[in-house]
Structure 1
Amino acid sequence: MNAGESAYGLWILVILNSAVFIFFAFSFIKPRSQTDWRSLGAFSAFMVALFVEMYGFPLTIYFLAGWLASRYPDLDPFSHDSGHLLHTLLGLGGDPHLNPLHIASNIIIVLGFFMLASAWRVLHQAQRKGELATTGWYARCRHPQYLAFILIMFGFLLQWPTLLTVIMFPILVVVYVRLARREEREALKTFGDECRAYMARTPGFLPQFVHGGVTHSRRE
């Protein structure tokens, strides 16, 4: 877009982008339980808030417009490129879509969706069999499905941070941690010692990629 062309008020793009990413998440996890719907709902709220500011109403840009104008007098704060705030604040030149930060964010988002699809497939298979999910990503960490949501949201924060999503992100992380702990309490009631052994050897959210027979302490 040209510097003087408004990149906002594009509500069709808000609806389309929100719908696409929410549909991707929905198709991957295929929510069945109340917990599934809560995790998807929290993620959906983040996506809507993100795309409203990205294409609809730039609340963060309006809030920071005066400061941005004083610090960057040649900047058009309401161009799409200026909405990539980290690109602007770090003084990165060129197309913000091609800088290392944006490329890294895309990689993180793709990894998050890949993990989401893989993890939920394993989880649903285990649930159908009445077993504890311990294979695939679940062999590396206990809550890859929630880690995937966190990665996707973090990736979007890197390329388009807003005041609302920056506030929402740590809150949603806490929500996912609480959901994970609730699921663990239910799993302990169902699987007992098998679940305790799994929790003792498998990290909560930070995946382990080297096994080698090492026993890991219970950690998040």
Structure 2
Amino acid sequence: MDAHADYGLWPLVFINTALFVAFAASFFHPRTGRDWRAMGAFTAFLVALFTEMYGIPLTVYLLSGWLGSKVPALQATHSGGHLFNDLIGWTGDPHLSPFHLASYAFIGGGFWLIAAAWRVLHDAAQHDRLATTGAYQWVRHPQYDGFLLIMIGFLLQWPTIPTLVLFPVLAMVYTRLARAEEREVAARFGAAWADYAARTPGFLPRLRRTPPAGHDGGPGESVGGLAPRRPR
């Protein structure tokens, strides 16, 4: 079988990118310019990923020159693209390897987190208050965390040089977007936001969460998370 038959499948690059972008958008519900920038960063990662998965295995070509003799499985086939499997000598179905199974958990958890956080935001917008419940009790930016978890999941099953380079860049992009959101919320809610931000981490949850101070917070005066998006 021709190893190169596993690549050059450009329709699959387009179809998979479009499907995952549409799937993510259905969970994230982008509406603002900032939302679309977050989606754009995620789309760039997917394009780089699926281009190597089905189009041109650039990473395999680059690594096979000096690792080929040490890692025989590192070949320009679909199985050979699962680099972590190649490095540990996994000989079974690559889709059942420990790395691949872990990737399912990260990707599924990421999509769940994005959807769960959006429901909290949507409810907060309907009641003209800030998001403080659900995932927002643990971190201030659960939806961005969701995107990062999905990307980590894809890196576990199909790491490439472009996506490994892109990941920290996109993490910084999401950090900048999050900080811009926080400035808007701080300007609107002042001390209430400062209290919330002081006891709730931005991206990495604490093992022991600081209990809320004071009251539950009524409309317009709750201790808040991110600025809510208005419902459609």
Q: Is the structural similarity TM-score above 0.5?
A: yes
> Do the aligned partners of 1:68 and 1:77 also contact (CA within 8 Å) in 2?
no
The answer as to 2:7 corresponding to 1:8 is yes
Classify 1:212/1:195 alpha carbon distance in 2 versus 1 (closer, same or farther; 3 Å).
Answer: closer
- Specify every segment of 5 or more residues in structure 2 that has no aligned partner in the other structure, as ranges: 214-232
Which residue of 103, 111, 114 maps to 2:112?
114
Equivalent pairs, count: 213
The answer as to 2:201 corresponding to 1:206 is no
> C-alpha offsets along residues 136-159 of structure 1, whole Å, 9 cap, x if unaligned?
111111000100000000110011
Per-residue deviation, 1:64: 1.5
The answer as to 2:165 corresponding to 1:152 is no
Q: Which residue of structure 1 lines up, in the alignment, with residue 90 of structure 2? A: 92
Per-residue deviation, 1:213: 3.2
Per-residue deviation, 1:87: 0.7
- Output aligned runs, 1:170-189, within 5 Å: 170-189=168-187
Instruction: Provide the secondary structure at the position in 1 that maps to 2:35.
Output: helix
Q: Which residue of structure 1 lines up, in the alignment, with residue 42 of structure 2? A: 43
AA partner of residue 56 (structure 2): F
> Do the aligned partners of 2:74 and 2:83 also contact (CA within 8 Å) in 1?
no
> C-alpha offsets along residues 117-153 of structure 1, whole Å, 9 cap, x if unaligned?
1112222332344321111111111000100000000
Q: Which residue of structure 2 lines up, in the alignment, with residue 143 of structure 1? A: 141
The answer as to 2:78 corresponding to 1:77 is no
Classify 1:214/1:133 alpha carbon distance in 2 versus 1 (closer, same or farther; 3 Å).
Answer: closer
Per-residue deviation, 1:19: 0.9
Q: Which residue of structure 1 lines up, in the alignment, with residue 229 of structure 2? A: none
> Do the aligned partners of 2:60 and 2:74 also contact (CA within 8 Å) in 1?
no
In structure 2, what is the Cα distance between the partners aligned to 1:155 and 1:174? Answer: 18
Which range moved further: 105-114 or 84-93?
Answer: 84-93
TM-score after normalising by structure 2 = 0.85
Q: Tell me the percent identity.
A: 54
The answer as to 2:39 corresponding to 1:56 is no
> Do the aligned partners of 1:29 and 1:121 also contact (CA within 8 Å) in 2?
no
> Do the aligned partners of 2:199 and 2:210 also contact (CA within 8 Å) in 1?
no
Per-residue deviation, 1:182: 1.1
> Do the aligned partners of 1:132 and 1:191 also contact (CA within 8 Å) in 2?
no
In structure 2, what is the Cα distance between the partners aligned to 1:3 and 1:103? Answer: 28
Classify 1:37/1:212 alpha carbon distance in 2 versus 1 (closer, same or farther; 3 Å).
Answer: closer
Q: Which residue of structure 1 lines up, in the alignment, with residue 165 of structure 2? A: 167
Per-residue deviation, 1:4: 4.0
> Cα RMSD over matched residues?
1.9
In structure 1, what is the Cα distance between the partners aligned to 2:93 and 2:142? Answer: 33
Per-residue deviation, 1:69: 2.2
In structure 1, what is the Cα distance between the partners aligned to 2:14 and 2:131? Answer: 35
In structure 2, what is the Cα distance between the partners aligned to 1:83 and 1:135? Answer: 41
